[in-house]
Amino acid sequence: MNRWLALLPLAALLALGLLFGLYALKRDPKVQPDALVGKPVPELVLPALEGGRATPLREALGGEPALLNIFASWCAPCEIEHPVLVDLKGQGVRIVGVAYKDAPENTQAFLQRLGDPFAARLIDRDGRAGIELGVTGVPETYLIGADGMVLAKHTGPLTPETARELLAKAPR
């Protein structure tokens, strides 16, 4: 009887492992939460990178279609996507950058080293704006309409192809 009691925790652990394993097999890892798509961009006020002036996000977006890029200097995929953002700026695409959980001096060094593709640069030091935006990781890019509506979201580094697909969702 004592042997069976000793094996009970092991049996419970195996049962839990089996339960979690079966649950994971039924989930699609490519599914990304797009909770904000079709809704207005949140009413956020963030400090500007230069000078720290409190800036409403909608004001930074400029009342025109824009990309909202969530990035960080410590993020390797952000560095990979950066040339795509610089190229988009050269094509006249308005991009607003939000440095996520990053120190302003690190963000400035990152932009000086790689180039600055952003029309406006904001800081989300503690990640609270990221919660409002539904950020699941960096980089993430949102397509925002002129009316402030979130039209689409891309999770992960932008490539030229994914950037074209994202921009194609903008009304013409």
- Domain span at residue 69 reads 45-167
Q: What pLDDT, on a 0 to 100 scale, did the predictor assign at position 172? A: 74
Whether residue 74 lies inside any domain: the answer is yes
pLDDT of residue 27: 60
Report the alpha-carbon distance of residue 61 to residue 65 in Å, rounded: 8
Give the per-residue pLDDT at 13.
80
| Structural domains in the chain (count) | 1
**Mean pLDDT taken over the chain:** 90
Q: Which amino acid is at 77?
A: P
Q: Is residue 18 part of a domain?
A: no
In a domain, 141, yes or no: yes
Q: What is the pTM of this model?
A: 0.81
Give me the sign of the Cα torsion angle 6, 11, 17, 20: negative
- Tell me: pLDDT of 150 over 70: yes
**pLDDT category of residue 14 using cuts at 50, 70 and 90:** confident
Residue 19 lies in a domain: no
On whether the CB atoms of residues 62 and 94 are closer than 8 A, the answer is: yes
- Separation of alpha carbons 172 and 160, rounded Å: 20
pLDDT at 19: 74
What average pLDDT does range 17-40 have in this prediction? Answer: 71
pLDDT of 21 over the 80 cut: no
Which has the minimum average pLDDT: 6-10, 66-70, 92-96, 160-164? 6-10
Identify the band that residue 91 occupies on the pLDDT scale cut at 50, 70 and 90: very high
* The predicted structure's pLDDT at residue 7: 74
pLDDT in tens, 95-126: 999 999 999 999 999 999 999 999 999 999 99
Alpha-carbon distance of 61 to 94, in angstroms, equals 8
pLDDT at position 16 is 77
Assigned domain for 33 exists: no
CATH of the domain at 160: 3.40.30.10
